[in-house]
């Protein structure tokens, strides 16, 4: 561990190579964190995210891991500890969203999505529960559709309902460790993945739903994460709906 890393708070951000995860990583970098950008696919996008963290004022490395594979996740946490001396914050943004009506939903797709969203959360949280230092935070990612219940979201909402349960129970299981456990539940957020395939009328209708009359941005979500990661020590065992008031 190098001397300049010794005084930094250290964060692991899974799914940190793009979308909301990348913005979270960059925001934590601006807060002075050393950030481990976890990714499963594009090494190039992960490297770009690490560069953005550094440009914002933080330190960053990239580590590839399948979040549902326990040996790979353990290796990710091992690397963070070797490089930076410990782990203070784990933000688990990695997940899949594959939509379709329940009556015709492909069960193989269901299994694939639930492997990432449920097993992945369980595996990442298991390592986090063992390793996050006193004064730290574990932040999972849920969704506002667990409350909004739109058609086509049964499989995805079911997986994120499991994330809610894991979050609330883990917060209680970590009694005495001074580690908070919460989940952020975004509403419609203007990421490339969300906007892809939607016509302008659909986007405009979704943007009109919140009282603030716009879609969320990745920075809106990252702001909530930064709050839970740092000053919000008395918020614990909660699902924080970050959706502009639509729920």
**64 CB burial (10 A radius; 0-12, 13-18, 19+):** middle
Q: Which run of H or of E encompasses 87?
A: strand 87-92
Helices (H), the chain: 19-30, 43-56, 70-84, 107-114, 120-131, 145-148, 154-173, 192-195, 200-208, 218-229
State yes or no: is 156 an active-site residue: yes
Answer yes or no: are the C-beta atoms of 195 and 3 closer than 8 Å.
no
- For 149: left if phi > 0, alpha if psi spans -120 to 50, otherwise beta; the answer is left
The DSSP bridge pattern shows strands 87-92 and 59-64 to be unpaired
- The two tokens of residue 172 are 């209680």
Helix, strand, coil % (nearest 5) of the chain? Answer: 50, 20, 30
Catalytic residue among 33, 39, 153, 156: 156
Active site residues per annotation: 156
């Amino acid at each position: 561990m190098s001397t300049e890393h010794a005084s930094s708070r250290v964060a692991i951000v899974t799914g940190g190579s793009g979308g909301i995860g990348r913005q979270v990583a960059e925001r934590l970098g601006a807060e002075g964190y050393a950030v481990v950008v976890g990714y499963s696919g594009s090494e190039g996008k992960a490297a770009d995210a690490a560069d953005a963290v550094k440009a914002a004022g933080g330190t960053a490395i990239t580590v590839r891991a399948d979040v549902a594979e326990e040996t790979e996740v353990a290796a990710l946490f091992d690397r963070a500890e070797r490089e930076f001396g410990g782990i203070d914050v784990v933000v688990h943004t990695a997940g899949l969203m594959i939509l379709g009506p329940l009556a015709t939903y492909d069960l193989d797709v269901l299994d694939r999505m639930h492997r990432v969203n449920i097993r992945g959360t369980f595996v990442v949280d298991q390592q986090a529960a063992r390793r996050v230092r006193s004064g730290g935070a574990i932040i999972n990612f849920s969704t506002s559709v667990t409350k909004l219940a739109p058609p086509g979201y049964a499989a995805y909402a079911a997986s994120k309902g499991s994330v809610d349960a894991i979050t609330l129970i883990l917060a209680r299981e970590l009694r005495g460790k001074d580690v908070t456990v919460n989940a952020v539940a975004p509403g419609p957020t203007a990421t490339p993945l969300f906007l892809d395939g939607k016509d302008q009328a659909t986007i405009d209708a979704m943007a009109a739903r919140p009282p603030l009359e716009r879609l969320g941005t990745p920075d809106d979500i990252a702001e909530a994460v930064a709050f839970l990661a740092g000053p919000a020590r008395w918020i614990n065992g909660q699902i924080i709906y970050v959706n502009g008031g639509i729920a």
